[in-house]
Amino acid sequence: MSDVGKNRDADRDAVMLTVRSALGKRGAPVTPRFPQRMPTDVLANNQVGISTLLLEIVKLGGFGRRVPDTDTLHRLLAELVRCEGVKQAALWSTPELNELSLNRVLHELGVQIISPGAERCQCSTCDLGVTGVDLALAQTGTLFLRTSPERPRWISLLPRIHLAIVEERALRGSLVQALAELRGEDMVAVTGPSRTADIEMTLALGVHGPSVLHVWAIAPKCRSSPSDD
């Protein structure tokens, strides 16, 4: 082991050899398969809807709202900007989110929009991050956010407020189902605001991630009739 870390292949062979001899394996390694079926019924519970998701979010210390139409969406956004004193915001640039013209509303409210590729320091001072939700799991209040060039990781992490726009069609009945669809994606599952209980088991919200999480469940109407004003 004198030239440790230098000879990667030797290290690899050393580990594999011990593993194989310890397990009593002979011949070329085969790719194993877990034969047992998962008790999907144990993990599934399909009888829940968007209200359960919002309820879970509230239980976790976030804020959940139903948004019936585009006008309400824009009004709520304006309210949020005013109440929280939002100066800078960043948004995912997915087509689904662009369609809601939140960019324009924020711009009209005088909020500076930070581009997803901005410098780290600028990202860090951002107040509001707006993201979509790729899949959601109602029973646990979990939102799955993929990572891609239009969906940078930092938008749901660095700003102190995270606003996630979710639609009913993103809901899945079980974790097995959600993970089967998102298999192999680079992503994050967000369940409530960033939290810790490391000091005397007292819950504190907002450590490294956002301290405020808003989840707005928009009705399909928001998409079909984009605001024209």
Partner 1 sequence: MSGLPGRVDFRRNTQCVAPQMACAVQQATTRFLALRDTAVSEFGADRWQELRQVGHDLRLHAIENLDGYLELLEDQVTRAGGQVHWAPTAACARQIVLDIARRHQVKRVVKVKSMATEEIGLALALESAGLSVFETDLGEYIVQLAGEAPSHITGPALHMTKEDIAELFRSKLGASAPADAQLLTRIAADRLRGEFLAADMGISGGNFLVPDTGTLVLVTNEGNGRMCTTLPRVFVAVVGIDKVIPDWESLAVMLTLLPRNATGQKMTAYVSFITGLKPVEGTEGPAEFHLILLDNGRSQMLRDKTLRETLLCIRCGACLNVCPVYNTVGGHAYGWCYSGPIGAILSPQLLGLHAAGDLPFASTLCGACNDICPVKVPITDILLEMRQRVLHEPTARQERSKSTLRAAARVAALVFGSPRLYRWSAEALCLLQAPFRRGGWLHRLPPPLNRWTMARPLPAFRTDFFRWWRARGTGRSQQRLLRASLLVAAAGLVIAAVSSRIHRSKRQGT
**In angstroms, rounded to a whole number, what is the distance separating the alpha carbons of residues 113 and 128?**
10
Three-state DSSP class for 163? Answer: strand
Q: Which is nearer to partner 1, 109 or 205 (CB)?
A: 205
Question: Where in 208-227 is the site for partner 1 (CB under 8 A)?
Answer: 208-209
Candidate residues 52, 98, 116, 173; the one interacting with partner 1 per rule CB under 8 A: 116
Least distance (Å) from partner 1 to the CB of residue 211? Answer: 9
CA distance 199 to 116: 34
Kindly state the smallest distance separating residue 151's Cβ from partner 1, in Å: 8
List 142, 212, 215, 217, residue binding partner 1 (CB under 8 A): 142
CB 129 within 8 A of CB 161: yes
Q: How far is the CB of 14 from partner 1 (least distance, A)?
A: 5
Span 122-141, contacts to partner 1 by CB under 8 A: 124, 137, 139-141
Span interacting with partner 1, options 11-19, 81-89, 105-113, 218-226, rule CB under 8 A: 11-19
Residue whose CB is less far from partner 1, 76 or 188: 188
182 near 193, Cβ under 8 Å?
A: no
- At 17 the three-state DSSP class reads helix
The residues pairing with 215 across neighbouring beta strands, listed in sequence order, are: 64, 164
Q: Are strands 112-113 and 142-146 parallel, antiparallel or unpaired?
A: unpaired
Q: Which of 15, 51, 87, 104 binds partner 1 (CB under 8 A)?
A: 15
SS3 per-residue string spanning 22-86: HHCCCCCCCCCCCCCCCCHHHHCCCCCCHHHHHHHHHHCCCEEEEECCHHHHHHHHHHHHHHHCC
Kindly write out the interface string for residues 149-188 of this chain, putting x where it contacts partner 1 by CB under 8 A and - elsewhere.
x-xxxx--xx---------------xxx--xx-xxxxxxx
Residue span binding partner 1 (CB under 8 A) among the ranges 32-40, 94-102, 104-112, 165-173:
32-40
- What's the CA gap between 63 and 61, in Å, rounded? 7
Q: Where in 39-78 is the site for partner 1 (CB under 8 A)?
A: 39, 42-43, 56, 60
Residue 119 within binding range of partner 1, rule CB under 8 A: yes
